[in-house]
Structure 1
Amino acid sequence: MTISYVDLVMDEMTLEEKIGQLLIVGMEGKTYGDELDRLIRKYHVGGIILLGRNSSYPAGILNLLNESKKANADYNIPLFISVDEEGGRVSRLPSSMKKLPAADYFGRIGDETLAYETGAYLAELLHAFGYNMNYAPVLDVHSNPRNPAIGDRSFSSDPDEVARIGMAVMRGMTENGIISVVKHFPGHGDTHVDSHLSLPVIKKTLVELYETDLIPFQRAIDEQVDVIMVAHIMFPELDSTYPSSLSKKIITGLLREEMNFEGVVITDDMTMGAIVNDYTVPEAALQSFIAGSDLLLIAGDYENQVGTINALLSAVQVGTITEERIDESVRRILKLKERYQLKDIQIEEIDLNAIERKYNNLIE
């Protein structure tokens, strides 16, 4: 029997290294620092995320990403280098660069070819900086005009249109080497509050969700989407105890078992108000992992990140979770890194003129 590359790698990994792979971490500031260095070199985290607070001028972002890759260069598992680059109001590009219009612009035009070319442009743009993963497209259905979190980030109020245009953008990215993370399962489109601030509640039944919000996600699963992000939203008709990101009924029961998703499940940022108003980050992250998540996205701070690693380690030691359960998620993560042939290659410079020409050709 042939042993796969992933199995060979896993056979050499310590439990601590496996747990490190479960985290994608954010950082403070616009330059590479000691805390991020320790997370990469000592804890072997699975990846990093750059947010608006980390965005500077193009060469500054490039340097931050290059330093992260340099720190990981002696390790045999590459990093996820991730970002939220949707276009519109969710963009992490330097202020000097042109931003794509918001998703509803592409939804109104309704041209699948343009949507695919937009995904391909995003892939080229992100590769130029050294990213390999993008938290896009948004597959939420814009069913509530008063929604403060989604709005123009959604392609349409029609779930079939969201699926059609969203899948074209996703293919444009993935077929050009960027891992697409679709979001925010099981649907953030009908919320009244922003989960960055507090926990939204959606009182839809499962039948109602299947008629609207779940349509784009099922389409993505059918098209072999690699990663799905789970939102911090309370769905009392599905789980009266936990929000979706911490719910075994929603992550394992609905997403994995009913909708047959076999890829990587990632949480939305565990430091958002929807979570930290009611939980510590380590306890929420542990519950999310128990519920079925693979990757835990923790944008800050360092104490939360190390605390989560220690909480997972303790949970294995006392038997709350098994090492087999850790292996299950690590295997999915490593297979994804292998599929995209990720490498920690540093990039010398960005051809900003070429990117602007591509943008101008796309958005005329």
Structure 2
Amino acid sequence: MTSRALILGCAGKTLSGQEAAFFRDMAPWGFILFKRNIGTPDEVRALTDALRATVGRADAPILIDQEGGRVQRMGPPHWPAYPAGRRFGGLNGSAAAIAHLGARLMAHDLASVGINVDCAPVLDVPVAGAHDVIGDRAYDTAPGRVAEIGRAVAEGLMQGGVLPVMKHIPGHGRAGCDSHKGLPVVEASLEALSAQDFVPFRALADLPMAMSAHVVLTALDPVHPATQSARVIRDVIRGAIGFDGLLMTDDLSMHALQGTFRARTEACFSAGIDVGLHCNGDADEMRGVAEGAPVLAGAALRRAEAALARLPAGPDAFDVHEARARFAAALSLAA
């Protein structure tokens, strides 16, 4: 079945008849869930099954932002609360091992309700004075440490049958405002960006998926955010960083982007994005996004298929109760 190069959200914990009909007609490649979509485990499983039924693909990707800390869509009372990324960066020599275990536990939570893609790890490297939209979501302020912990998180997710999405390529750590509310403009030199911001993404360029940054990097393109910049995508993301995986946008409804939803979507694809992401479930916005999105084909289709091929046939053997106890003990000892 031909898919449209889109990942879309829905409004609630169940699909309305209008949403189901729209998804059947538009055939998005995948879906994304937010806190508004999360009920009991049985309800989440029923929703992921219903979403996949609309497009007729049992392996259709269903995404979620499950980082831990303040970005965790599934939490108590049905799932554990996980620490923010910065907690792992403070664990010194044990950071990677504990972050890996936490990600493996998250993967168990997600896979058990039919979610097979997590928008993590966060590979942004924050700098002093930047907006806290990244803040404690970042693992560390040292690029090498961010890469080390990010690799551990990605591998923990994949071992549990969940694909990672590294974000926000080529780096959101210098942003002076929240891209949900406005367009950040970063005036750092290309040399500074290459020596710090790009480092974790280069180190993890073999990962299957990445999410773009709605950030203007004036050293490369003084007008367009990376998501809509052909130069940034061609010369940096595909070039200097060397990422050849599936490149998806950050949320197309964020106020960093301007214009109608069709126009902003068309600008992303013209720049070289593979798949557009729209999150809030607003029907009118989704129609505009769908009008601007192409059918998934060519290099984008190749990358999408290669990403899904990285999913293991099933998660590895795993004693979740023992692992939860070990994770809690490791965090307690490191406190």
Q: TM-score, normalised by structure 1?
A: 0.82
| Corresponding residue of 2:121 | 137
Q: Which moved more, 1:197-206 or 1:138-147?
A: 138-147
Find 1:117's aligned residue among 91, 98, 101: 101
Residue in 2 aligned with 1:88? 69
Residue among 7, 12, 30 paired with 1:47: 30
Q: Distance in 2 between matches of 1:76 and 1:181?
A: 21
Misfit runs of 4+, over 3 Å: 354-358
**Matches of 1:94 and 1:339, distance apart in 2:** 27
Q: 2:217 aligns with which of 214, 223, 235?
A: 235
- Shift of residue 79, structure 1, vs aligned partner: 1.1
Question: Aligned runs of 1:26-175 on 2, under 5 Å?
Answer: 26-72=9-55, 75-76=56-57, 78-96=59-77, 97-110=79-92, 111=94, 112-175=96-159
Equivalent residue for 2:333?
A: none
The farther-off stretch of 149-158 and 249-258 is 249-258
Which structure has greater strand proportion?
2
CA contact (8 A) 2:246 2:274 kept: yes
Structure 2 regions of 5+ residues with no counterpart? Answer: 330-335
- Paired residue for 2:332? none
Are the aligned partners of 1:137 and 1:169 in contact in 2 as well (CA < 8 Å)?
yes
Cα 1:203–1:145 change in 2 (3 A) is closer
Q: Does 1:294 align with 2:274?
A: yes
CA deviation profile, 1:96-128 (whole Å, cap 9, x unmatched): 132110001111003222122122112111111
**Rounded Cα–Cα distance in structure 1 between residues aligned with 2:189 and 2:175:** 14
| 2-structure distance, mates of 1:192, 1:35 | 39
Residue by residue, what CA displacement relative to the aligned partner does 1:32-56 show, whole Å, maximum 9, x if unpaired? 2224312432221111100122222
Residues 149 and 240 of structure 1, relative CA distance in 2, 3 Å threshold: same
Contact 1:134 1:180 (8 Å CA) reproduced: yes
* Residue 146 of structure 1, CA deviation: 4.7
Cα distance in 2 for residues equivalent to 1:76 and 1:146: 42
The structure 1 residue matched to 2:260, chosen from 280, 292, 295, is 280
Q: Return the alpha-carbon distance in structure 2 between the equivalents of residues 356 and 194 of structure 1.
A: 38
Could you say which residue in structure 2 is the equivalent of 1:208? 192
Q: Aligned-pair distance for 1:76?
A: 4.9
Task: Quote the Cα distance in structure 2 between the aligned partners of 1:166 and 1:124.
Answer: 18
1:217-261 deviation line (CA, Å, top 9, x unaligned): 00001xx11111111011122101211110001112211123221
Matches of 1:34 and 1:148, distance apart in 2: 39
What do you get for the CA RMSD once the two structures are aligned? 2.1
Distance 1:262 1:29, change over 3 A: same
Offset at residue 212 of structure 1 (A): 0.8
Correspondence for 1:363: 328
- Distance in 2 (alpha carbons) for counterparts of 1:338 and 1:145: 41
Q: Which residue does 1:337 correspond to in 2?
A: 308
Offset, 1:305: 2.2
Query: Structure 1 residue 335: deviation in Å?
Result: 2.7
Residue identity opposite 1:213 in structure 2? D
Amino acid corresponding to residue 335 of structure 1 in structure 2: A
Point out where structure 1 has 5 or more consecutive residues left out of the alignment: 1-12, 314-322, 344-353
Q: Could you tell me how far 1:289 is from its partner in structure 2?
A: 1.0
Contact 1:125 1:355 in 2 (8 A): no
| Separation in 1, partners of 2:58, 2:275 | 15
SS at match of 1:333: helix
Shift of 1:24: 0.3
Q: Distance in 2 between matches of 1:32 and 1:65?
A: 10
2:239 to 236, 250, 257: 257
Structure 2 counterpart of 1:188, from 163, 172, 195: 172
- 1:328 is matched with 299
- How far the C-alpha of 1:210 sits from its partner, in A, is 0.9
Whole-Å Cα distance in 2 between the matches of residues 359 and 39 of structure 1? 40
| Cα gap change, 1:219 to 1:43, in 2 (>3 Å) | same
Deviation at 1:171, TM superposition (A): 1.1
The one-letter amino acid paired with 2:215 is I
Distance in 2, Cα, partners of 1:103 & 1:76: 33
Query: Is contact 1:144-1:189 (8 Å) kept?
Result: no
